[in-house]
A and B are shown apart, each in its own frame.
Chain A
Amino acid sequence: MRWLVDKLWLNLRSKYYFRRSFYLQAAMMFLNNLLWIAVISLLFARTGSIGGFNRAQYLVVFSYTVLVYGLVFLFFGGLRKIWQYIVEGNLDRFMVVPRNLLINVAISDTRVASIGDISQGLLFLALLGAPLRLLMFLPASFVVAFSFMVIVNSLYFFMRDFTGRVQRQLLHFLISTGMWPVVILQGPLRFFFYYVIPGGTIFFYAVQQAYSGGWAPKLWLLSMVFPVVALAVWRIGLRRYSSSNLGFNVNEA
């Protein structure tokens, strides 16, 4: 644990070296999220409630989404780069360190913009009077989001994408499910958005349960299943890894 905290502190200090960029990134992310809040207002201009959520509750879902997303990438910003390490064969330098490889890679970097996400999330949750019970679900949502990101990045052991677009889009997919009302879907698509791309469960369902005073059993169940799947995919993928994975890159063209 001490190692994790020290590493986070070191990452933040190294990013803080470029102070202007540090503050700018956090502020721009905050502004970016405010723009989405404007979009939500536009959505509610056409309708009074969406899938049983009123405007304030919908904003709580959004704020909770960016909070979870922000926390994952503040502590484990290296997750965003795993695909690159795999494609370029750069996992080697982490392998020689006598630590858990996945955790070591995940904490190798931090995302400064996450500070904007976290501050915006916390601020709006407080302003909107979100139920405190929601904080209880935060660890479970965090674990599922973390595991999902590991799975997405581990896909690069099996596929070719030298630009990282798949990774960016699938991560965007997860956050999109916390922004768009997956609650209005029915049948197999609802299942897809709740259990395959788990945003429906970790964001909408968590908030729904927090308001209704439930214990979110499906969320806790996912928080046990997803890490197992993530570890399995990571380990199977790792067996296929070789240092010469270097691929074609437009920057070398």
Chain B
Amino acid sequence: MIYIGVREALANWQATIIRSLHMAFLGYLIGYFWFTVTGDRSYMLYVIVAELVMFNRARVSWEVSKLIRTGRLDVWLTRPGSLYSKLFSIFMGRVVTGYFLSLLLVFPMFLLFGMPNFWYLPLALLAFVVEYSFSVTVGYLSFWVGDTQPFRFVVDKIKFLFSGVVVPLEFFPGWLAFLSKVLPFRFMAYVPAKAMVGQFNPIDLLIGLLWVAFLYVVALVVEKKGVKKYEMVGG
């Protein structure tokens, strides 16, 4: 299944190129804004690295929601293993391949704004797993509400806000800064991006892993309850 995801990402190479260009231009715009506001050039690099992680995320909630709504989940349910793990393989294959292709494509920007610390690259994997576990649970809400699109609007915005892609978290005022610390979203972009520009706290890695475990359990519980409610369509 990982192989299917990899193949799909490679088959969509034109999409990857366009997506990377989009990231590069938008990253430059946002990074340049923070650079003009703070005078700190490292924000150019920070935004690009954070965007690389965030824009290559799984977007699994949309596809899970579609599978449930259209009744096509039955094909997946007939295969052994939990839905979480089956989807995980295919999405991670797609996400990680897309991420490395994007990394190659935006590489010239690193020559301009400085090389990120590639030792912390595995932290991007942590970001993808946290994001995947969270998103798949949002997608599972379709078992109860049908279309999760309205939730996705808001959840995506909250995710973007608290992951530090739009506004670096150190610029948040008091209570928002506190919220950003207790929610899991900062592990989706902020923590890996900061590590790659040279600010890494090992405790963050530990907390991130705890979030992975917690979100995994939540996803499995929601999946189990949701599948019991699921009704197939057609025949």
Contact = CB atoms under 8 A, between A and B. Distances in A.
Interface string B161-187: 100001100011100100000000000
B171 A45 contact: yes
A119 to B, nearest CB: 15
A32 B55 CA distance: 19
A173 B154 contact: no
Contacts of B55: 169
A169 B22 contact: yes
Interface residues of A, number: 46
A58 B153 CA distance: 22
The CB with the most chain A CB atoms within 10 A, among B26, B59, B66, is that of B26
A170 interface: yes
Contacts, number: 117
A167 to B, nearest CB: 9
Residue among B26, B149, B150, B151 with the highest chain A CB neighbour number at 10 A: B150
Interface stretch (A62-70, A131-139, A142-150, A245-253): A245-253
A122 to B, nearest CB: 19
Given A28-B150, A169-B22, A251-B67, A46 B12 contact: no
Interface stretch (B13-21, B192-200, B221-229): B13-21
Nearest to B151: A28
A248 B146 CA distance: 25
Prevailing SS type, chain B contact patch: helix
B41 interface: no
Interface of A: 18, 21, 24-25, 27-29, 31-32, 35-36, 38-39, 42-43, 45-47, 50, 113, 155, 159-163, 165-166, 169-170, 173, 176-177, 180-182, 184-185, 189, 192-193, 197, 248, 250-251, 253
Given A24-B150, A29-B153, 5 more contacts: A46-B38, A161-B18, A162-B12, A173-B25, A192-B25
Interface of B: 1, 4, 8, 11-12, 14-15, 18-19, 22, 25-26, 28-30, 32-33, 36-38, 55, 59, 63, 66-67, 70, 72, 90, 94, 146-147, 149-151, 153-154, 157-158, 161, 166-167, 171-173, 176
